[in-house]
Amino acid sequence: MAINGITASVLASKYNRGDAADVQKYINSEGITQADVKAYFPDFDLSSLKGITVPTTATNNALTADIATNLMQRSMTTGAPTSEFDKYGGYDAVAAKYAQSGGQLNTSGISAADKAKYANTVANTGVGNLSLLKETNTPLTAAGRAAMIANGISTYDAAALTKAGIPFQKNTDEKLTDLSSQYSTLNSNYSALSTQLAALQKAYEDLAKKKTTGTTGTTGNVTSGGTTVDTGGTNIDTSNAGGATTGPVYGPDGRMYSSAASAIAAGVTNYTRTKPTGILAGVDTLGAGGGGTASRGFMADATNTGNVNPGGLITGQSSQLFNPAININLPGGLKNPYSV
């Protein structure tokens, strides 16, 4: 590819400064050939060049916007060899071309697909921009971490990577440490649960010891089925003798109440469910006909008779109607009207 006069003039200027590396970069970037040199500098002896190579044919090293973009984006992610920049006139020439095409010196202008591709390279080689791994959530592989250590980069251990928020794959030792920590946590939790279970078991046993059925305490508290009823120190007959546990109850004076609740409401707490057979000794107070002692009403037995009736005309048990026992207390506290 033939060069123009401006290119030839720049080449001569660089050569006269004596910087062979700079001359070589310019030759590579502009695709200058031996034919170009002979065309503009016919008396120049190419064999006299030291450390500079002029190709016999064009090497197509012309810097384009696409080439500049590729090199600059790689330099910001995976890294690009200096030799590649030198082919196109060096880093400054490539950066200038990249800027002319609207490129930015950050990763914001890189497509998501290219970022993922570059991040994968960084993750597996350990070379490049580690922040790209954080941006794309690509874990640094164990191989990549080993390569970093082999390259003399030891500052990015697990703690440093974690602090920087860079995802990474753990090595064998780190995995074993994690498993040991998990085991320790599980063991602590198991111990705590065992302690709680023992406490619950003891609480259950204590409750079981306190539970009794139908017992009466010294203060008159009655437990039935595990439930304590405070009766204010009055003992209540809770036996089933004399009938069912529901229905009428009887006070100490023989008075009947429709239920235990009615008795308690009336202030009677020492009631019983056993039907009384008599209030006075030897007297059937609830008899109602049918003959015998059950039909005598409030009559004392023959052994409780008082004075013999006049003339002894009335004998047997009927004589009690005339001569009842002295001071027999009748129902309601009535006195015997015939007592002497």
> Does the pLDDT value for residue 70 go beyond 70?
yes
> Does the pLDDT value for residue 31 go beyond 90?
no
Q: What pLDDT score was predicted for residue 151?
A: 84
Candidate ranges 151-160, 224-233, 331-340; pick with highest mean pLDDT:
151-160
> Does the pLDDT value for residue 184 go beyond 90?
no
Q: What pLDDT score was predicted for residue 72?
A: 92
CA atoms within 13 A on the CB side of 128: 27
More confident residue, 61 or 246: 246
More confident residue, 232 or 268: 268
More confident residue, 138 or 282: 138
Q: What pLDDT score was predicted for residue 241?
A: 43
Burial 158-191 (b: 16+ CB within 10 A, else e): eeebeeeebebeeeeeeeeeeeeeeeeeeeeeee
What number is the average pLDDT over the span 131-142? 91
For the stretch 188-234, pLDDT in tens is 899 999 999 999 998 888 888 877 554 444 444 444 444 444 444 44
Hey, is 132 helix, strand or coil?
helix
Q: What pLDDT score was predicted for residue 197?
A: 92
Boundaries of every domain in the chain:
5-164, 170-210, 215-265, 279-340
Contact 23, 46 (CB under 8 A): no
pLDDT band of residue 123 (cuts 50, 70, 90) is very high
What number is the average pLDDT over the span 25-40? 85
Candidate ranges 40-44, 174-178, 295-299; pick with highest mean pLDDT:
40-44
Give residue for tokens 């200027």: 13
* Of the candidates 16, 17, 59, 20, the residue with the CA atom closest to the CA atom of residue 36: 59
**Rounded Cα–Cα distance for residues 57 and 34 (Å):** 7
> Does the pLDDT value for residue 138 go beyond 90?
yes
**Rounded Cα–Cα distance for residues 309 and 336 (Å):** 16
Contact 260, 267 (CB under 8 A): no
Which helix (H) or strand (E) is 241 found in, with range?
none
Candidate ranges 12-16, 62-66, 278-282, 328-332; pick with highest mean pLDDT:
12-16
**Rounded Cα–Cα distance for residues 150 and 229 (Å):** 83
Q: What pLDDT score was predicted for residue 290?
A: 41
pTM: 0.38
Count helices and strands (H / E) in the chain. Answer: 12, 5
